[in-house]
A and B are shown apart, each in its own frame.
Chain A
Amino acid sequence: KQEVTQIPAALSVPEGENLVLNCSFTDSAIYNLQWFRQDPGKGLTSLLLIQSSQREQTSGRLNASLDKSSGRSTLYIAASQPGDSATYLCAVRTSYDKVIFGPGTSLSVIP
């Protein structure tokens, strides 16, 4: 059974710092992995989608990597800003078409 975990559960950093969020999954038979952000009381906003054949994806200050063999993905945020404060979730789509979300990392960027 696929399980997805995210470490840390919460993170507080000063503005301008680079940071890394981690996502781990137990079954490497995945179809893709997607990173989202969720603002309080809001829906989920898609950040990056990595197909199983890809190693990384970049969008602006965000870079997501995928290592299927070790069951890990990281989301790198460069030069963090207060507007980056949100909960970040990763979701794994398995090869048998389940979608499993991690519990999320709550990020706070202090001005």
Chain B
Amino acid sequence: DAGVIQSPRHEVTEMGQEVTLRCKPISGHNSLFWYRQTMMRGLELLIYFNNNVPIDDSGMPEDRFSAKMPNASFSTLKIQPSEPRDSAVYFCASSGGTRSTYNEQFFGPGTRLTVL
């Protein structure tokens, strides 16, 4: 398996622009997580899907952030409009494999977002 795939790997945009981050979870996994990592706040869970349904979005910082999972193999995290304080590395993770590792999370390589 290719692991969790994220695109783009790097994104530089100007304040006010819309940004869309993409994630393909590991095939067969039924849970998907979006995280944000910054030096100041460390790793924070933004939103968590189970079977394509958002279970907990309490970590989404504000209405400018939205996430969707239209099917089991694809999810997007959108920021509109983007602000400089959104600059961070955004990670996607998935879990839900074999019984013994069912809750083990596997992370993608991340998207480094810079908002100028």
Contact = CB atoms under 8 A, between A and B. Distances in A.
Interface of A: 31-32, 34, 36, 42-46, 49, 51, 89, 91, 93, 97-104
Contacts of B110: 42-43
B107 A44 contact: yes
Given A43-B91, A43-B109, A44-B91, A101 B103 contact: no
B116 interface: no
Contacts of B43: 89, 91, 101
Interface of B: 33, 42-45, 48, 55-56, 91, 93, 101, 103-110
B59 to A, nearest CB: 8
Given A31-B103, A43-B110, A103 B42 contact: yes
A49 B32 CA distance: 17
Given A89-B43, A97-B56, A103-B42, A46 B48 contact: no
Nearest to A32: B103
B45 A49 contact: no
Given A43-B109, A43-B110, A99 B103 contact: no
* 8 smallest beta-carbon distances between A and B, as pairs: A101-B43, A44-B107, A49-B104, A43-B107, A43-B109, A99-B45, A103-B42, A43-B110
Contacts of B105: 34, 46, 91, 99
A99 B106 contact: no
Contacts of B109: 42-43
A31 B33 CA distance: 16
Contacts of A103: 42
Contact of A97 (B48, B101, B104): B48
B48 A49 contact: no
A9 to B, nearest CB: 12
A71 B93 CA distance: 25
